Amino acid sequence: MLGNPQAAADVNKLNRKVRRFEFSWSWFSIPSLLVVWMITATQFPAYILPQVWHVAQEGYEWVVSGDIWPHLQGSFLEIIGGFGLAIVLSLICGFVAGFNKGFREYIVPLNGLFMAIPPIAWAPLMLIVFGIGYTTIILVVLISAVNPMILTIMEGVLQITSQEVRAARVLGAKRWQLFVHVYLPASLPFVTAALRIGFSQAWRALVAAEMIGAAAGVGWMVQVGGEIGNARQVLLGIVMIGGFSYLFERLLFRPIEKKYEVWRLA
Amino acid sequence: MPSESERIGGENLRIDDLWFSYGGKLSIYEGLNLDVRPGEFLGVIGPSGCGKTTLLNLLAGFYEPEEGAVTLRGQPIKPEDPHLGYVFQQPTLFPWLSAIENVEFGLRMQGMGEAERRERAQHYFNLVGLMGFEDYLIVRLSGGMQQRVNLARALAMEPTLLLMDEPFGALDAITRETMNDELLRIWDTLGQTVLFITHDIDEAIYLSDRICVLSRPPGGIFRMLDSELPRPRHGPTTRTGERFWGYKKSLINDIAEVTAQRPTSEEEIALLKRRKKIEESD
Ligand SMILES: Nc1ncnc2c1ncn2[C@@H]1O[C@H](COP(=O)(O)OP(=O)(O)OP(=O)(O)O)[C@@H](O)[C@H]1O
Ligand SMILES: [Mg+2]
């Protein structure tokens, strides 16, 4: 909670400065990848390894024809559903496990067990039970994301020192006030880490599950593109998978992280 | 001259026949009695691990005594008691809040309105000499400044009993002396009952009305020393006076005696056993 305008202004100033003046090697990351791609592509016929602009062209056609929207929408709804459920569930279980030793002892082995099984292994079972569709994929996404998230949030609660809590109690904080004003802000860095880990797990599982049991989605695009030998479609799908992740990073995780990195990293 | 309106005043703290051990194994207190007068500044010293922090945690109600009672103006103390202020040995400021927001924290928990609590917090913020640093984040304050915030945060609740656990232990000698003077000035104005823990003999003498030397556990009070140093105290004069040296000499002797008492902490016992084994095998 960066409640005060002065510190917020300080940070903004700092960030602006960094953005304007500081050279970063990260400027070369994506361009160098594109260059390697383009050079490699000159060695192959376009139907095997298409050029960057062929894929751009492919994307343009998908957008103009409107064919792309069902796939974007499908993947979007699945990630919102699966990851959203994982967030709610992991916040509840993570905090309860942090507070309650019995529940912690109970749930940690389960988390470990589920994390040892690659989430995609559940997909065939889900397909048998629920058939092709949202439910199957949302469940696979949920299973893959929720377990590491619970563990991370639990760690976040456990690392809060009893001294901080005692200080708040002496200052008159009641049970729910302790939760809102101490446990929540103090564990925020871990909650963000959990979101990050959970999302990357969820997104991987989603794409994999779509390749096995879906009728739409970016994973489906890649899968079908491969089956029909359309390398452009495959690469377009891969670019979209990366882009989707990037958007989540920018729109969801960075803003939350900004809130605490000032006091965490200063 | 402190104005009467600023005065908070202190209350009588009593410890009656206090028994306490950690999990029934490590006995810390076996029948401790202590009566702290309202508005008294009581210094508590003792070697490391003798149970000073334990005592404050018992006083604050974080631990239940096994036997006996701790009362403030005749009432048992709970941590949430608004009459209680506690400056902890370890840093406990909330790093996600600004300096002044830390000071406001307790008032906010009480549901005090924003304008009113800002005004009150500002008052104590100025009192500890931090004016101008309101919006600093904790990580950007020096150690001494952080302890000032810590003190202001406890004072803002206007407690009648202030527990301080080696609050300046991590500071350098010069900053510590400055903080000592500021603490005395504030206490002179507000007049709370203060229990001040330290293992610095000079600090204990300079600040206190009475100094309590604790024994090694399981024990209690080794000696109670009444100070007749005049107030207001003044660094250069007080610290170099005859009496100061007299008290210092006697406390140094006390501490030496206490330190020589039989060791009872678990580690020390383990250490002794190991040593004995080594001797036997020789
Ligand atoms: N939570 C705990 N559980 C078990 N033993 C404890 C606990 N806290 C402290 N002790 C033990 O109790 C004894 C007294 O500890 P305490 O922290 O009160 O010492 P102290 O006088 O404050 O020391 P210091 O001057 O180093 O801060 C020590 O031997 C310590 O090992
Ligand atoms: Mg201690």
> Quick one: pLDDT at residue B48?
86
- A128 found inside a domain: yes
The ipTM, to two decimals, is: 0.85
Q: How confident is the model at residue B74 (pLDDT cuts 50, 70, 90)?
A: confident
Asked if the model's pLDDT at residue B1 lies above 50, the reply is no
Spatial strand order of the sheet with B221-226 comes to B84-87, B161-165, B193-197, B41-45, B210-214, B221-226
Q: What is the pLDDT of residue B276?
A: 57
- Are B165 and B154 in the same domain? no
CB contact under 8 A, A163 and B92: yes
As a whole number, the mean pLDDT across chain B is: 88
What is the pLDDT averaged over residues A25-52? 93
Q: Is pLDDT at B33 greater than 70 in this prediction?
A: yes
Give chain A's mean pLDDT.
89
Q: Are residues B100 and B123 in the same domain?
A: yes
Mutate to test the pocket of ligand 1, among B18, B26, B166, B221 (most ligand atoms within 8 A of CB): B26
Based on the fold, state whether residues B167 and B205 are members of the same structural domain: yes
Asked whether residue A245 carries a pLDDT value surpassing 70, the answer given is yes
Distance B65 CA to ligand 1 centre (A): 15
What is the average per-residue pLDDT within A205-214? 91
* Residue B137 with chain A: CB contacts under 8 Å: 7, 262-263, 266
User: Is residue A29 situated within a structural domain?
Assistant: no
Q: Is residue A123 part of a domain?
A: yes
**Same structural domain, B191 and B152:** no
Residue where a domain terminates, one of B110, B127, B158? B158
Least confident span in A33-37, B184-188, B271-275? B271-275
B133 and B206 housed in the same domain: no
Classify residue A231: in a domain, yes or no: yes
What pLDDT, on the 0 to 100 scale, is given for residue B59? 94
Task: Say if residue B277's pLDDT is above 70.
Answer: no
Q: Which of A146-160, A206-220, B168-182 shows the lowest per-residue confidence on average (mean pLDDT)?
A: B168-182
Distance from CA of B111 to the nearest CA of A (A): 10
Cα nearest neighbour of B84 on chain A: A170
Same domain, B175 and B258: yes
pLDDT of residue A3: 43
CB contact under 8 A, B96 and A188: yes
Q: What SS3 class is residue B64?
A: coil
CATH of the domain at A215: 1.10.3720.10
Closest residue (by CA) to atom 6 of ligand 1? Answer: B22
pLDDT for residue B192 is more than 70: yes
Cβ <8 Å between A169 and B80: yes
B112 C-beta neighbours (distance < 10 Å), count? 16
Task: Using the predicted structure, report yes or no on whether residue A38 has a pLDDT greater than 90.
Answer: yes
Query: Can you tell me the mean pLDDT for B154-173?
Result: 91
Task: Convert the pLDDT of each residue in B131-142 to its tens digit.
Answer: 999 999 999 999
Inter-chain contact B82–A173, Cβ cutoff 8 Å?
no
Examine the pLDDT at B260 and tell me if it is beyond 50: yes
Consecutive H or E run containing B20:
strand B13-22
Per-residue model confidence (pLDDT) at position B205: 96
- Closest approach of chain A CAs to the CA of B72, in angstroms? 15
Chain A residue numbers touching B140 (CB-CB < 8 A): 266
Question: Is B132 part of any domain?
Answer: yes
The confidence band for B41, taking pLDDT boundaries of 50, 70 and 90, is very high
- Specify the pTM: 0.80
Task: Please give the single-letter amino acid code of residue A163.
Answer: Q
Query: Does position A4 have pLDDT exceeding 70, yes or no?
Result: no
Atom of ligand 1 nearest to the CA of B57: 18
If asked whether residues B128 and B190 sit together in one domain, one would say no
- Range of B123's domain? 93-158
pLDDT of residue A1: 36
The residue with greater pLDDT, B259 or A113, is: A113
Domain membership of residue B206 (yes or no) is yes
| Percent share of chain A, pLDDT over 70 | 91
At B5 the pLDDT is: 64
pLDDT for residue B2 is more than 50: no
Residue B146 sits in the same domain as residue B233: no
Q: Is residue B77 part of a domain?
A: yes
A34 assigned to some structural domain: no
Domain assignment present for residue B254? The answer is yes
Residues B258 and B168 in one domain: yes
Which H or E element spans position B29? strand B26-36
Q: What is the mean pLDDT of residues B235-259?
A: 91
Å between B70 CA and nearest CA of chain A: 16
- Ligand 1 pocket list (CB less than 6 A): B 22, 26, 28, 46, 48-54, 89, 199, 265
% of chain B beyond a pLDDT of 70:
91
Residue A42, both tokens: 């000159």
Residue B8 maps to a domain: no
Domain end, chosen from B112, B137, B158, is at B158
End-of-domain residue from the set B142, B158, B174: B158
User: Is residue B5 a part of any domain in this protein?
Assistant: no
Q: What is the pLDDT of residue B132?
A: 93
Q: Among A7, A172, A186, whose Cβ lies nearest the Cβ of B106?
A: A172
Q: Do B71 and B133 belong together in one domain? A: no
B138 lies within 8 A of chain A by CB: yes
B59 and B191 co-located in one domain:
yes
Helices (H) and strands (E) in chain B, counts: 9, 10
**Residue among B44, B43, B14, B17 nearest B29 (CA):** B17
Cβ-defined contact of A166 to B88 (cutoff 8 Å): yes
- Assigned domain for B1 exists: no
Count of structural domains within chain A: 1
pLDDT of A103 strictly over 90: yes
B257 and B196 co-located in one domain? yes
Q: What letters, b where the CB count within 10 A reaches 16 and e where it falls short, cover A78-106?
A: bbebbbebbbeebeebbbbbbeeeeebee
Compare CB distances from B135 to A6, A163, A264 and report the shortest one's residue.
A6
Q: CATH number, domain at B53? A: 3.40.50.300
- Domain range for residue A218? 67-261
To the nearest whole Å, the CA of B240 is away from the closest chain A CA by 37
Q: What is the pLDDT of residues A87-96, one digit of tens each?
A: 999 999 999 9
Confidence of residue A252 (pLDDT cuts 50, 70, 90): confident
* CB < 8 Å to A188, chain B: 96
In a domain, B4, yes or no: no
pLDDT of residue B282: 53
CA of A163 relative to ligand 1 center, distance in Å: 14
Q: Is B50 on the interface with A (CB under 8 A)?
A: no
Owner of token pair 């293992």: B199
Look at A210-224, B118-132, B155-169, B266-280 and tell me which has the smallest mean pLDDT. Answer: B266-280
Q: Quickly count: other Cβ atoms within 10 Å of residue B89's Cβ.
A: 16
Helices A101-116, A134-158: inter-axial angle, 10-degree rounding: 130
Instruction: Report pLDDT for A2.
Output: 39
pLDDT band at B61 (very low <50, low <70, confident <90, very high): very high
Cross-chain CB nearest to A266 (options B101, B109, B137): B137
Domain count for chain B = 2
The answer to whether B139 contacts A263, with C-beta atoms less than 8 Å apart, is yes
Looking at the predicted structure, is the pLDDT value of residue B211 above 60? Answer: yes
